[in-house]
Amino acid sequence: MQQNLSACGVEPKLVDHLTDLHPLLDRDGAVIISGPECGDEATRALARQIFADQTLAVPDAARVFEGGEYDHARAQVTNHIATPAHTDGFAYGDLYPDYMLLSCVRECANGGESVLIDGYQVRQHLLDHPEFSWAGHALSEVVIDQTEAQMQTALSPIVMDNGRGRRMVRKTLEQRPCADSRDPERDALMIALWRDTIDQAYMEAPRFKLRAGQTLVVDNYRMLHGRDPYDDLQRMLWRVWVWTTGALGVPELPLASDTRHASVRTN
């Protein structure tokens, strides 16, 4: 599928003050803010400052190195390979966090650039495509299985509405047709078009690197995040997932900014 996907890649703007953050976050889906502290508690405190009385949950931060400390899929995501563009926190099923913060403690000199793909724009590309517009519509109509192995069940469309006018898009590692699908081949093609368009956009998207003292704030309902391989194992960031009043809901589970509590097994 040949498309101009340049509009799908986002390079977030850098701001120094919270007052400048929200307009860019609303417009672009992501923004970088500079500050002196990027530790675990400092990042959580920043999240509460940003979202103020809209904050519902800001769980413990998670160290991000070699794919993540407690993440279920860490063995599949190492520093040697790129992390494909994905939705963060999908192990929590439909109640995944609506925002994410990544704070850089130490960047890598070679590699490790971040990539952001605008999921709204990806869907619009499919809607505008003369051959595949049906898939753009089906993304919000067809229920598929988006459950990560041994994690919270998610039987839902790729594009959802939170019931209050906020659109949610998702790309996970294991999207597949439901077991009771009426047309599994068509559903599989829809999923493949979604994933392939995102992957192509990833190849064309601008790269950017968080520097020590910078925090990336991402609309996790809209943006898909990935990163390039890197070689410095001392590279380290803190990740914080945030649930706000704009989220579909908060999981009735212990929460963290990784998948340590999302398993259907007893933790």
Residue 265 lies in a domain: no
For residues 53 and 143, what is the distance between their CA atoms, to the nearest angstrom? 33
Choice among 34-38, 131-135, 227-231, 263-267 with the minimum mean pLDDT: 263-267
> Residue 126 in contact with residue 132, Cβ under 8 Å?
yes
Q: Would 178 be classed as within a structural domain?
A: yes
Question: Which residues share a beta bridge with 223?
Answer: 118
Higher pLDDT, 265 or 246: 246
- Residue range 138-161, pLDDT digits in tens: 999 999 999 998 999 999 999 999
Q: Output the average pLDDT for the chain.
A: 90
In this prediction, residue 77 carries a pLDDT of: 53
> Which tokens hold the place of 121?
């724009």
In a domain, 45, yes or no: yes
Report the candidate in 126, 253, 109, 110 with the shortest Cα–Cα distance to residue 200: 126
Among 31-40, 77-86, 135-144, 161-170, which stretch is predicted with the lowest mean pLDDT? 77-86
**Residue 264, domain member (yes or no):** no
What's the per-residue H, E or C state across the chain? CCCCCHHHEECCEEECCHHHHHHHHHHHCEEEEECCCCCHHHHHHHHHHHHHHHEEECCECEEECCCCCCCCCHHHCCCCCCEEEECCCHHHHHHCCCEEEEEEEECCCCECCEEEEEHHHHHHHHHHCCCCHHHHHHCCCCCEECCCCCECCCEECCEEECCCCCEEECCCCCCEECCCCCCHHHHHHHHHHHHHHHHHHHHHCCCECCCCCEEEEEECCCEEEEECCECCCCCEEEEEEEEECCCCCCCCCCCECCCCCCECCCC
CA distance 55 to 52: 6
State residue 67's pLDDT score.
Answer: 47
What is the rounded CA–CA span in Å between residue 206 and residue 10? 7
Q: According to the model, what pLDDT value does residue 33 have? A: 97
* pTM, full prediction: 0.92
Res 264: pLDDT: 78
Pairing mode, if any, of strands 214-219 and 99-106? antiparallel
- For residue 115, what is the domain's CATH number? 3.60.130.10
Q: Would you say residue 10 lies in a domain?
A: yes
**What is the model's pLDDT at position 142?**
98
Do the domain assignments include residue 112?
A: yes
Q: Is residue 252 part of a domain?
A: no
DSSP β-bridge partners for residue 191: none
Q: How confident is the model at residue 265 (pLDDT cuts 50, 70, 90)?
A: low
Indicate whether 193 belongs to any domain.
yes
Domain count, the chain: 1
Domain that holds residue 178: 6-244
CB 63 within 8 A of CB 71: no
